[in-house]
Structure 1
């Protein structure tokens, strides 16, 4: 399930021994798992700090507790410690932490929502923008609402056609069209004002 290298175990053991607290171990959890903001949290914990449903992994000299709700997202994770001339560096790789794309058998809505959250919105965020899925019609038309810097932006038509629509067509079979349902006249902080574009 989780691979913790001998070097990482030795690193944690040394830190735990320095604290000299009975039962002190390491707790691993996923923060915002299944999203593009997902990250791993690693902290020292005493038995009294635990919720009681954690998975316990016996390591050399301590226990690694894995938050139960995080287990599916941390499956296959690897924790390593690399000694470098400037000091050591802990590395945690968790390939499933951001979730897994829904299979082709999933609903069109699920597949569209995944691509928007994991591919489209991270790109739009670079310009303080985002898009939300309003609906997917029975005909495969994706209806979106723009927000942030995209709401009222003079470049929104280009973003829709050359970015979002191309991405959805390429990544989500079944999408037939992409439409914008946003009232762009109400945008308060567009990335590019409509009068400039």
Structure 2
């Protein structure tokens, strides 16, 4: 599944020896898998930290664990360590981590979800917000839930109309309208309390 070079294994052994403790290993997981924002995260882990769903790669002197939900995104991945004048650089290459943009023959939900995760949420993240898909009705009306800094934000309606709806309708022609299903009165940490500021997608 993953090819870990000898140089990378040597680098991991050095890091683990600095941490001390028996049975300490390295765990890899993918965050935001299948989207342009996908990334790999490495962490030290002890046996008690494992869920039992990890894939185990036995290396010389330590175990390397791959998060079970991340495994399918790491097919043909490689990990290498390249020494340089300032120390070195660990390189993880995972060609399938970002997934593929759904084609025109993909389902409406899949294409809308991709645009939300690939384009809209990364931009909303600058204001600590995000949107999630609730449903799409037979007429192509998309119902969204705002969260984070967008929940209760005074500019959420502007963001919805001028940013989210515009982007979705451009990328997915079957979308006829976008509606907000959020109860903004319950927002705990809105980015803007009142009708001031600008859209998070502006």
Query: TM-score higher than 0.5 here?
Result: yes
| Distance of 1:193 and 1:113 partners within structure 2 | 28
DSSP-derived class of the 2:70 partner: helix
Cα offset, 1:64, TM superposition: 6.0
Superposed counterparts of 1:26-65, under 5 Å: 29-32=28-31, 34=33, 36=37, 38-41=39-42, 54=55, 56=57
| Distance of 2:15 and 2:187 partners within structure 1 | 52
The aligned counterpart of 1:119 is: 119
Cα offset, 1:15, TM superposition: 7.0
DSSP-derived class of the 1:126 partner: helix
Task: State TM-score, norm by structure 1.
Answer: 0.70
| Shift in CA distance, 102/27, structure 1 to aligned 2, threshold 3 Å | farther
- The alignment yields a C-alpha RMSD, in angstroms, of 3.9
Corresponding pairs, count: 193
Task: Answer yes or no: is the 8 Å Cα contact 2:155–2:196 preserved in 1.
Answer: no
Task: Answer yes or no: is the 8 Å Cα contact 1:132–1:145 preserved in 2.
Answer: yes
The aligned counterpart of 1:132 is: 132
Task: State TM-score, norm by structure 2.
Answer: 0.68
Unaligned runs of 5+ in 1: none
The aligned counterpart of 1:109 is: 109
Task: Answer yes or no: is the 8 Å Cα contact 1:152–1:184 preserved in 2.
Answer: yes
Unaligned runs of 5+ in 2: 198-202
- Computing the radius of gyration from Cα coordinates, the structure with the larger value is 1
The aligned counterpart of 2:151 is: 151
Cα offset, 1:61, TM superposition: 9.2
Cα offset, 1:186, TM superposition: 4.2
